Amino acid sequence: MKTVISTDKAPAAIGPYSQAIEVNGMVYTSGVIPVVPSTGEIPEGAAAQAEQAIGNLAELLKAAGTSVENVVKTTVFIKNMDDFGKINEIYAKFFTEPYPSRSCVEVARLPKDVLIEIEAIATK
């Protein structure tokens, strides 16, 4: 059975998808972008956007009854691979060893023209 997870502490879905789905004790998030949920604003710069996006992801995981400590896999989409180092610094503030497995890819464009989007798979 699938359970829909949603929270107003992370950006609302902007299409026909759920913020996250829980099934069999696993939480699968949709991509989370760096929108400030209370204002709709997007911070300036890759580091600030990474901080906001991963913070939003943490709130979504919290709403699902889990946390970043239980993340086993992330996928990070970034607009510019030159920002990889800055994003890694922020990423390491949220995720600790043993780090989740991760893919990081540069993409041509992201929703709302943000610089980063992140999705995760976590255990409960």
Kindly tell me the sign of the dihedral angle through the C-alpha atoms of 66, 19, 59, 71: positive
Q: What is the distance between the alpha carbons of residues 93 and 20, in angstroms, rounded to a whole number? A: 23
> Residue 116's beta-bridge partner residues?
78
Question: For strand 3-5 and strand 116-123, is the pairing parallel, antiparallel, or unpaired?
Answer: unpaired
Give me the catalytic one of 26, 48, 63, 104. Answer: 104
What's the number of CA atoms in the CB half-sphere (13 Å) around residue 93?
14
Residue 104 falls in the annotated catalytic set: yes
2 burial type by CB count under 10 A (0-12 exposed, 13-18 middle, 19+ buried): exposed
User: Which residues are known catalytic residues?
Assistant: 104
